[in-house]
Amino acid sequence: MHLSAFATFAALIVTASRPTPADRCLRPDISVRAWAIAHSPRLPGFELRVPPGFVRDSAEDSYPDPQPTGSLWADSVHDQLVVRWVKAGDHHLLAGALPTSLGRSEYSKCVERINRAAAEIVSYNRLEQFGEAYAGPYQIHARLRWPDGVTVEMYGMASNRRRHLELLGALRTIRRIGS
């Protein structure tokens, strides 16, 4: 291969591997209408639809947390969706910055509106290790903030692309109820 042709080819590879622009959301073409509506005593005032096979971790009801702020749903292969809320004024309790594109393939980051909340959504494909535990390979991280300051953080991990798309679908179903 001629050197200039190689340089052009290399530039195309680098350009193709750049992260998705912040204004593009990964939107699954998936129907959620038949999914179960999920509630949790640890998420008062919220509901969402969860993919088939996901059940809430009922053991969390026995945790000695005086102010429960989140719930976990998982399936039999350990794909999971974690949802936690933070009331207005307690934003110091948020998890911190959402993951960046550094070293993460199929990365997308966007901002959109979900049921009156401003949502920041990150999605990517990377198996990550944290001590003895693993996350991924497909992951979503999202932060939704309602006009009154109430914030919901969502984290999901999936073992395959289909479940990943389902988690992105579930994220877009969360809504406040009774307010």
Rounded Cα distance, 135 and 128, in Å: 5
The domains of the chain are located at 20-176
End-to-end CA distance of the chain: 65
Q: What is the pLDDT of residues 8-45, one digit of tens each?
A: 333 333 333 343 444 567 777 889 999 999 998 888 89
> Would you state the structure tokens that stand for residue 20, as one six-digit string?
């998705």
Q: What is the pLDDT of residues 90-135, one digit of tens each?
A: 766 666 778 778 778 888 898 999 999 999 999 988 877 778 877 7
Residue 138's DSSP bridge partners are 125, 158
DSSP string over 40-88: -TTSTTEEEEE-TT-EE-GGGGGS--SS--EEEEE-TT--EEEEEEE-T
Does domain 20-176 correspond to CATH entry 3.30.1360?
no
In sign, the C-alpha dihedral spanning 39, 45, 48, 54 is: negative
